[in-house]
Structure formats: C-alpha cells, structure tokens
A and B are shown apart, each in its own frame.
Chain A
Amino acid sequence: MTTATSTAATRLFIPNTAVGVIVAIALVIPFFGSTYHITLAVNLCVTLILTLSLNLVVGSSGQFHLSHAAFFGLGAYTSAVLAKTVGIPPLLCLPLSVLLVCTLALLVGLPTTRLRGLYLAVATLAFSLFVEVFVNQGGALTGGGYGIQDVPALTISGTVLSGRAFYPLALLLMLLVAGSLYGLMRSRLGREILAVRDHSDAAAAAGINPPVIRTLVLVIAAGFAAIAGWLHCFYHLALNASLVSPELTFVWFFMVLVGGIGNVRGVVIGTVLLTLLPEFLGVATGQTILGIGVLMIIVTLFAPRGLGGVLDDAIARFGKARS
C-alpha cells in the first residue's frame, strides 16, 4: 500500500491556499447558481464524505474493503423507509440509519478481520453484491427495481429544507465529517490505526489490539457512509437500486487513488476533479462509465501515486535535464 505523504510536488505546485480557493469557489457558487449547480454541489459533498471515509479504511488503515457502496446505499434506503413507510421525522432518521449501518458494519467487520488482501476484498465484495440483490428483490420494502419515490422532505422548525435551502446542511455535514477525520488521524487512535497498518505485530506488542482497531475503523467509515446516504436520500427525495451498486466502491477508490492514497488533500482534489470533470467535458451524456474505465487504466499505468506523484517525477526529470 502506498503510504500517506503529501509529496514535495503537491506542496510546491498546489499550495494549500490554491486548493482552498478552488474548493471555496466550488462550495460558494451553489448559493447563487441554478438548480443544476446545487445538485452538483450536493452530490460533491456526498461523494467527498464517501471518499474521505473510504480513504480512512483503504488508505490510513490499509484494509482493502469493497463494501462501502453497500453501507452508503443501506444508509439511504434505511432513511427513506423510516421516513416514508414508518413515518419517523427525517431528522431522527439520521442517527437511526447511522446506528443500523454501524451495527451491520460491526457484524461484517468482526468475522472478516482475520482475512487479508484478496480474501478480504472478495468477502466484502460478496457482501456488497448480496446487499444489491437484497435491495433489488426487497419487494414492497425497498421497491425493487423501481426504488422509492416521494420521500417526505426534511423540515426543521416548520421550514422545508429542499433545493438551495438544503445545500448549507450538506456542506455543514461534509465539513463536520472532514473535520472529525482530520481530528481522528491526529489523535491517539489515529496513530494506533497507522501503527496497525504499518506493523501489526509491533503494534500488538505495544498493547494495541489490531482486530479491534481494524473493526473500529470499518464501523466509523460505515457510519460516515450512512450520513452520506441520508444526505442523498433527503436531497433527491427518491432513490433506486443503482445506489447500492458495488461498482460505486471502485469509482470512489479511483477518486482516492487519483489524488494519492492516504493523503486527505489528494483525496479532496481527486474527488472534485473526477466529479466535476465529466460534467464539464459533457461526457455525462452516456459514455461516462467507459471514460472512467479508460481513466482508471491510464492513471494506474502512468500515475499510480496520484497527481502529486506525476508532478514529483516531472520535477525529478527537469532537475536531471538541467544538471
């Protein structure tokens, strides 16, 4: 697993302020833009929560878990079913769906902690595929292939939060998730997670329990994925089975990789780039998946350390040419 360092090149060429300015522009536009911009920005917030939390599992913790789409989709479906069928207030659906998804992640995480590498990937992929079948075949509960429409909108003290009014909430939750991940990696627990990834036996000798840490990471990430699912559910107020497609996990993992695995700033850059680029290029007309496939091959072949790595290599070549 590539380790988590922000490279010299990203520090040189993409200073924090530049990233900050770009992200700020992307986040402020929706306050003035059209419905299209708002939808794009909410989807960006949702995807950022997903890639940042996936990065915690795959990058910081080094576990190749392929069940993130299942946790996201189940978070969205739980929220929709609770709000529409059971009639629970949308705001209360957030803690409930997070709780349910975290419990499920615990049930998946405990037996799979002893699996490594390919075995872990295949076992969690099987879980994700099962969730997809479950949602597709769920009958009246999940609406099968048609999904669930007309989910009651979120209201806070009498005000309906939809469209433009919903966006600040998505932004706030995204920043909260990003902030808590930032804080987590700087806490004692964060150092324990890195220690378990880099040297499990040494960490165990130092009194850390690796299986507990690995499971905990999965549960935390699944909880964040459920928050993303809740946001998606109450912005779009409709959902279908494409939300639980296991292929989504690969796309998010790709976003993580484009920026540079383990590097939070890289993850943000990768996610923003791969969410907005297809829109700007207009390939969203039908060949998006084909385009993502081509990009996956190109990036894994030529830029496996992400954008920062590419710039690093360019600088190294430039330096060599001059001397």
Chain B
Amino acid sequence: MLSSLAQVLLSGLQIGCIYALMALGYFVILRATGILNFAQGEWMMISGVLGVVLIAFGVPYYLALLAAIAGAVLLALAAERAIIRPLQARGAPQPIVLLSLFGTMLVARYGTGVLFGRQDLPLDGPAGSGITIIGEANFIANQTLVVYAITAAAFFGVAIFMTRTWLGRSLRVASIDPLAASLIGVDLTRVRVVSFGLGALIAATCGWLYFPLYAVGYLNGSIPGIKGFIALFVGGMATTMGPLAGGLALGLVEVAASFYLPSIYAEGAAFVLLMIILVAKPSGLTGGKES
C-alpha cells in the first residue's frame, strides 16, 4: 500500500487533471470570444453517452471513441452556428448570452435523457482495468497514466497552438480588441468556430477519462462542467498555465478535504476556494495584473 499522503496526491492529481482539461476547454473559448460556455459539461456527457450506445451496437471500441468525440464536437459546432453566431452578430449583452447557453445546456442534458434513457451505464477506459506495478507492493491504474498523458499532451498542444501559430495568436487577440483584430485580418467568425470546436474536442475527450472512473448518465456532465469553470477562475486565465494550475489545485484541495475532513467540507471545498480566490485575487493563482 502506498502511504496515505501519496494516495491523496495520486488521486488528487488524477481528478485535478480532469478538472484542468475541462478548464482548458472553457479557457480556449473564453480567451477567444469572452463567452463562458455553460454547455461544456454536456458535450462531455454526450461524448460518453454516444460511446456507450455505439459500443452496445457492436462498434469496435476505438472507432466508437472517435465517432462519439466527433459527434459531440459536431453538436457543439451546430450550437455555435445556430445560437452563438446570431447572438454575437447582434452584439447581445453578456447576461443574454449566458441565459441562452444555460438553455442550450438544459436542452442538451434533458434531451439526452429523453432520447437515450435516464440510467447510469458503465464505460471502460481506453486503458481497460490493467495496473502498473511500481516498486515493491505499490501500483497505479493504467487509466490514471492515460489521464496524466492526455492532460500533458493537451496542455502542450494548446500552449504551442496559442503562442506559435497565426490562428492561435488570432484567438488570443480576438477577445482583447475584436475591432482591431478584424482590422489586421483576423476572421472573427473563424476564430469563434475554431475555439468552440477545440473547446468541445477537449471536453468530449475528457469524457473518456472521467466517466470510466464513475458512470455515464445524462446528468453526469454537470459536476465536471461546474468544476471546470471553477478551476479556470481559481487558476486564472492570463496564460495556458492558469487552467492547469487551477485544475490541479482544485483536485488536490478536494481530495485532501475529503480525506481529512467531514464530507460537508469536502463537497463544498471547491466553492469556498473559488470565493476566497475571487475576493482576494480576482485574476486567479497565475494571473499577473488585476482583471
């Protein structure tokens, strides 16, 4: 057995990676468009539900995985086209956009419940249930290693994309000054489509990391969806390191709280952490200037 501290660290890091990935999805969209996309958790959920349905129909595992992720991303792009684009074109104020996204979230969530049933179903992780032995008598689940690897790859990829490519840089400049950005040749519609697609891709992939730990169900995207934007605001959104730091911090705080404190503190820990951060340092853990 691993010592209790190591156990807390390992499971905190695992859930922290998942929160960080969800935060990264919000981050990409928020940096490009200034929109907090409430529906992120639902794209994750839909990816898991589609996966379970496809596998039940006998589709090979990895084909089902790719098709489910592609399906969730297509839905997100359809929502962008049908809902976000007209609102942005009209210059709708933020509360209206948020309410519209909240409606989208409700439709995605309860629509899935109507179409695919309301039961919770298991989903195997890409790494199955194998374990890797570390040292004498300690082990780590292969699925956990997959979570670490995907998180590292996703953050590395997004960081390179946002700083080294023309499209990624135009994503960053678009929300700071949309008018100036469009004057220097940034296609704002393209930026928005790419950011919503990339955000949904990250969330849909994250579903295949999170659901194997719990279960797939139409309500189960809600909690990781909430934890994701909390992690983003905890970490700050100055750089790509913000969502990473926020996710890991949130995961560690939560697991430590559930390990050492009664459950009422554990489940509320994320919200208390966010309130403290927003009041003390609104720009987040990694944020430089006050926002």
Q: Which residues of A contact B (CB under 8 A)?
A: 1-2, 58, 64, 111-112, 114-115, 117-119, 121-123, 126-127, 129-130, 133-134, 136-139, 250, 253-254, 257, 287, 289-290, 292-297, 300-301, 304
Contacts and interface: CB of A to CB of B under 8 A. Distances in A.
22 contacts: A64-B95, A118-B34, A118-B94, A121-B95, A122-B36, A122-B230, A123-B274, A133-B264, A133-B267, A137-B267, A250-B102, A254-B103, A257-B99, A292-B103, A292-B106, A296-B99, A296-B103, A300-B87, A300-B92, A300-B100, A300-B103, A304-B92
Contacts of B256: none
Contact of B110 (A115, A119, A257, A293): A293
Contact of A296 (B87, B102, B114): B102
Contact of A126 (B100, B264, B278): B278
A289 B104 CA distance: 11
B90 A293 contact: no
A114 to B, nearest CB: 8
Contacts, number: 115
Given A257-B99, A289-B110, A137 B264 contact: yes
B275 A293 contact: no
Contact of B282 (A115, A134, A297): A115
B196 interface: no
B93 interface: yes
Contacts of A295: 103
A22 to B, nearest CB: 25
Nearest to B83: A297
Given A123-B279, A253-B95, A297-B107, A304 B90 contact: yes
Contacts of B117: none
B179 interface: no
The secondary structure that dominates the A interface is helix
B94 A119 contact: no
Contacts of B6: none
Contacts of B267: 133, 136-137
A136 B271 CA distance: 14
A117 B291 CA distance: 11
Nearest to A290: B110
A126 B267 CA distance: 12
B106 A289 contact: yes
Contacts of A293: 102-107, 110-111
Contact of A122 (B106, B229, B264, B272): B229
Nearest to B222: A247
B165 interface: no
Interface in B136-162: none
Of A123, A136, A287, most buried by chain B (CB within 10 Å of CB) is: A123
